[in-house]
Amino acid sequence: DAKTTQPTSMDCAEGRAANLPCNHSTISGNEYVYWYRQIHSQGPQYIIHGLKNNETNEMASLIITEDRKSSTLILPHATLRDTAVYYCIVRVASGGGADGLTFGKGTHLIIQP
Amino acid sequence: GAGVSQSPRYKVAKRGQDVALRCDPISGHVSLFWYQQALGQGPEFLTYFQNEAQLDKSGLPSDRFFAERPEGSVSTLKIQRTQQEDSAVYLCASSLGAYTGELFFGEGSRLTVL
């Protein structure tokens, strides 16, 4: 799997949009970008994924650059409960279960009241 | 419950003891994963099952680690002769299909080896 680079930590004010960047410059054409988050003392939680088009769901939006070398996860109206470690992961879509998820260290997002 | 359930949530073992950690995946989920998460680190892959078949165990750190899923549902991760470096949170995840990247994680079992 291609490796990703994320900032170690970020702050965001409550109610504002949180924009979390991820670099994946060696991504292959058949690799998707996945985002998970892990709230303290809980298991990771799936947020969103995409291949090359921007994606939106009830939790977040995912913006992938045209060259696919980077992406941004957007939490439109951050709340204190969004404080968590956010992981950006690239993964082959049909690589079989063992090509599941390779987590890095992620970005610790802290939402400030 | 509707989610992935793991037990025990907390386990303290003396060095050298054997431990068994249980995972109840979401009903009907084909794929099951075990991950190990050390303090301050991201989860690291241990092993993967597709139904009852263990298709990948490349992440198991030593032959003291053993996992099984005999009927394609509940899985057990066993650690023999525990060492202090085994202290970690052990996470189980399941997914509906064989190739999806949308995994559902349990809350984990925190193992502390004294």
A7-11, A87-91, A95-99: the lowest-pLDDT one: A95-99
Whether residues B45 and A94 touch (CB distance < 8 A) is answered with no
C-alpha distances (whole Å) from A32 to each of A59, A69, A95, A99, B44 are: 18, 11, 11, 12, 19
Name the interface residues of B facing A (CB cutoff 8 Å): 4, 31, 33, 35, 41-45, 48-50, 55-56, 58, 91, 93, 95, 98-99, 101-108
Query: What is the sign of the dihedral through the CA atoms of B62, B8, A107 and A93?
Result: positive
More confident residue, B54 or A92: B54
What is the pLDDT at residue B1?
55
Residue type, A33: V
Out of A32, A41, A85, whose CB is closest to B101?
A: A32
How many C-beta neighbours within 10 Å does residue B71 have? 9
Alpha carbon distance B96, B93 (integer Å): 10
Whether residues A101 and B103 touch (CB distance < 8 A) is answered with yes
Question: Which candidate, A15, A9, A19, places its Cα nearest to that of A78?
Answer: A15
On the 0-12 / 13-18 / 19+ scale of CB atoms within 10 A, A13 is exposed
Residue B20 pLDDT greater than 90, yes or no: yes
Residue A6 pLDDT greater than 80, yes or no: yes
Residue A2 pLDDT greater than 80, yes or no: no
How many C-beta neighbours within 10 Å does residue A110 have? 15
Q: In sequence order, which residues have a C-beta less than 8 Å from that of residue B63 and are 6 or more positions away?
A: none
Residue A95 pLDDT greater than 60, yes or no: no
Whether residues B42 and A106 touch (CB distance < 8 A) is answered with yes
How would residue B98 be classed by pLDDT, with cut points 50, 70 and 90?
Answer: confident
What is the pLDDT at residue A92?
76
What is the pLDDT at residue A113?
94
Whether residues B48 and A91 touch (CB distance < 8 A) is answered with no
| In the block, residue with structure tokens 């994924």 | A49
Q: Are A87 and A37 in contact (CB under 8 A)?
A: yes
How would residue A99 be classed by pLDDT, with cut points 50, 70 and 90?
Answer: low
Q: Which of B36, B57, B90, B102 to mutate to test the interface with A (most CBs of A within 10 A)?
A: B102
Residue type, A93: A
Cα–Cα–Cα angle for B51, A57, B104, rounded to 5 degrees: 25
How would residue B100 be classed by pLDDT, with cut points 50, 70 and 90?
Answer: confident
Percent of chain B whose pLDDT exceeds 90:
92
Residue A97 pLDDT greater than 90, yes or no: no
The side-by-side arrangement of strands in the sheet containing A55-56 is A18-23, A70-75, A61-64, A55-56
Percent of chain B whose pLDDT exceeds 70:
99
- Collapse the DSSP code of B107 into the 3-class scheme (helix H, G, I; strand E, B; otherwise coil) and give the result: coil
Alpha carbon distance A36, A46 (integer Å): 5
Q: Are A86 and A109 in contact (CB under 8 A)?
A: yes
How would residue B97 be classed by pLDDT, with cut points 50, 70 and 90?
Answer: confident
Alpha carbon distance B41, A52 (integer Å): 29
- Collapse the DSSP code of A16 into the 3-class scheme (helix H, G, I; strand E, B; otherwise coil) and give the result: coil
Alpha carbon distance A5, A25 (integer Å): 9
Contacting residues of B for A85, CB less than 8 Å apart: 42
